[in-house]
Amino acid sequence: MSGASAAAIALYEQALAELQCYSGDPLATIDEALAESPDFVMAHCLRAYVFVLSTEAQAAPEVQASFDAAASLPSNARERRHLVALRQFLQGSWDGAIGALEDVLIDYPRDALAVQALHLADFFVGDARNLRDHVARVLPEWSPDDSGYHALLGMYAFGLEECGDYRRAEEAGRRAIALNPCDAWAQHAVAHVMEMQGRAQEGIDWMTGRQGFWATNSFFAVHNWWHLALFHLELEQVDRVLALYDGPLRGERSQVVLDLVDASALLWRLYLRGIDTGDRWNELAAAWEPLATDGFYAFNDAHAMMAFVADGRDRAADALLAAQQQAISSSTGNARMTWEVGYPLCSALRAFGRGDYSTCLSLLRPIRSRLNRFGGSHAQRDVFDLTLLEAARRDGHYALLRGLANERIELKPSSPLSRRYRQDAARWAAQTAGIAAI
């Protein structure tokens, strides 16, 4: 690694380990490394990746500053490939950055930072196959004795889960945890398996039983709390859901966009069920407003739109849609995401909020199966399936409701919500048959 003293390399390794477990403060650690060795190219790169992968427009100047610092220094071939990836990120090209990170790993499969950055980039573009296979490509080049091996297994677990290979995903996730109990991503991958299989009580036990490992000193804790809340919601324990929202999920009023996404995603599930959430939307929408009118990342836009719709903030909703229209005309990866799914989805959410369920259905149905194109996990995007179901019910489109409820029951036979939707549809079918008989 160019420009680094032994002490700075030790700090870099520490920052990387923190990133791999989503614990501590990797930015503070890497800043210490840079204080020790200001010409440390990979330390500048790590810092830039942390900001890039926050998916926040406001982070762009920090990315630029770290990139400029690294680019002005003497570097080796591997480091220069990282600079290519970061330049692509700065230009808003997810595909370009992913290709460049792939290039790093083709020649340097043991570059742990490249694996980490690539996995998150694959997540933010919703590429399930590469979430699995980019990790698989390098996994045999590592040994279980390597200090970061648990992180590879945790990432592989998540990739397998997103590809629907739940048995192997759980196995890999549990192996990762056995190697490093503090691996919050592996913890999360197993939670995803349980979420997808409707194993809600097991999910609660999995999360609460290991809470000491993932909930303390972790910058990923809010998302893991969100997963715990989803398990409680599945069991219709609404009081528990609200207690988690008011406590660890939203109690600290985080302004981190990834945390706001989880808060919106949870409240919107309650909103769809017609559950009164008091003034919680108001606080959340106010937090979103200064952050969400830049059309920077369509997945975040959708979650901001939920808050604006539910809180009746028409002006903010208009501004968001206008920003998206603006974004579509750019040449970034987000332009395509916004064009393909982000804009119609935000328009659908807006229509839902106005009670125009038929417009909501007509906007949402055609894009539902390709919502992965704007990133996130299956569990996160499920909120849009739930929106479609509820729009069908409120629109009186019971034949569609029956089909959608059937889909869910096939995947999660024990889900009370799915059964209720099917009962609604069945009641309608019985009434229709009765009318026909008369």
Q: Which residues, numbered 281-300, are part of the site for Fe ion (CB under 5 A)?
A: none
Nearer to Fe ion among residue 338 and residue 377 (C-beta): 377
Build a one-symbol-per-residue string for 172-211: x at contacts with Fe ion by CB under 5 A, - elsewhere. ----------------------------------------
Both structure tokens of 94: 């997810």
Using DSSP, state whether 312 is helix, strand or coil: coil
Q: In the Cβ-directed half-sphere of 195, how many Cα atoms lie within 13 Å? A: 26
Nearer to Fe ion among residue 187 and residue 377 (C-beta): 377
Nearer to Fe ion among residue 37 and residue 377 (C-beta): 377
| CB neighbours of residue 126 within 10 Å | 23
Give the phi and the psi of residue 164 in degrees, each rounded to 5: 85, 10
Element (H, E) at 6: helix 6-21
Tell the smallest beta-carbon distance from residue 161 to Fe ion (Å).
9
Nearer to Fe ion among residue 81 and residue 192 (C-beta): 192
Nearer to Fe ion among residue 19 and residue 265 (C-beta): 265
Q: Which residues, numbered 356-395, are part of the site for Fe ion (CB under 5 A)?
A: 377
Tell the smallest beta-carbon distance from residue 264 to Fe ion (Å).
14
Tell the smallest beta-carbon distance from residue 100 to Fe ion (Å).
26
| CB neighbours of residue 413 within 10 Å | 10
Tell the smallest beta-carbon distance from residue 226 to Fe ion (Å).
7
**Dihedral sign computed on CA atoms, order 42, 47, 49, 50:** positive
Tell the smallest beta-carbon distance from residue 191 to Fe ion (Å).
7
Nearer to Fe ion among residue 130 and residue 377 (C-beta): 377
Q: Which residues, numbered 110-139, are part of the site for Fe ion (CB under 5 A)?
A: none
Residues in contact with Fe ion, total (CB under 5 A)? 1
Name the residue with the smallest CB distance to Fe ion: 377
Pair 401, 421: CB distance under 8 Å: yes
- CA-based R_g, the chain, Å: 22
Pair 245, 284: CB distance under 8 Å: no
Nearer to Fe ion among residue 20 and residue 377 (C-beta): 377
Tell the smallest beta-carbon distance from residue 419 to Fe ion (Å).
25
Tell the smallest beta-carbon distance from residue 223 to Fe ion (Å).
6
Residue-wise DSSP of 228-291: HHHHHHHTT-HHHHHHHIIIIITTT----HHHHHHHHHHHHHHHHTT---TTHHHHHHHHHGGG
Nearer to Fe ion among residue 116 and residue 377 (C-beta): 377
Tell the smallest beta-carbon distance from residue 259 to Fe ion (Å).
13
Q: Where are the alpha helices (DSSP H) in 139-248?
A: 149-162, 166-179, 184-196, 200-209, 211-214, 221-234, 238-244
> Which positions touch Fe ion (CB under 5 A)?
377
